[in-house]
Amino acid sequence: MKITKFPQSCILVETQGQKILVDPGKTKFDKAFLDYWKKATAILVTHRHSDHFYGDVLQQLSAPIYSTKEVQNSKPELKIHLVKANDTFSLGKVKIEVVKAVHGYMLPAGEIKENVGFIIDDGKTRLYITSDTIRFKHNYKADIMFADITAFDASMNLWGAVATFNEVGAKLLIVAHQDEGKMFYTKQQIEDFLKQQNVNYVLPEILDVVEV
Has residue 26 been placed in a domain? yes
d(CA 212, CA 206) in angstroms, rounded, equals: 18
CA distances from 36 to 24, 132, 137 (A): 11, 24, 35
Angle value at C-alpha 134, between 126 and 72, nearest 5 degrees: 75
Has residue 196 been placed in a domain? yes
* Contact (CB, 8 A) for 210 and 1: no
Judge whether residue 101 has pLDDT over 90.
yes
> Any bridge partners for residue 211, and if so which?
2
> CB-based contacts of 29: which residues, under 8 Å, 6+ apart?
7, 54, 57
> CB-based contacts of 178: which residues, under 8 Å, 6+ apart?
8, 149, 184, 185, 187, 190, 203
User: What predicted TM-score, i.e. pTM, was given to this entire model?
Assistant: 0.96
Q: Which H helix or E strand runs over 77?
A: none
Taking the CA atoms of the chain, what radius of gyration do you get in angstroms?
A: 16
Residue with the bigger pLDDT between 152 and 26: it is 26
Q: For the domain that residue 61 is a member of, what is the CATH number?
A: 3.60.15.10
Has residue 209 been placed in a domain? no
Mind listing the pLDDT tens digit for each residue in 71-96? 999 999 999 999 999 999 999 999 99
| Domain housing 163 | 2-204
* Number of domains comprising the chain: 1
Mind listing the pLDDT tens digit for each residue in 124-178? 999 999 999 999 999 999 999 999 999 888 899 999 999 999 999 999 999 999 9
DSSP conformational letter for 124: S
Has residue 133 been placed in a domain? yes
Please state, as a whole number, how many other Cβ atoms lie within 10 Å of the Cβ of residue 210.
Answer: 17
Judge whether residue 211 has pLDDT over 80.
yes
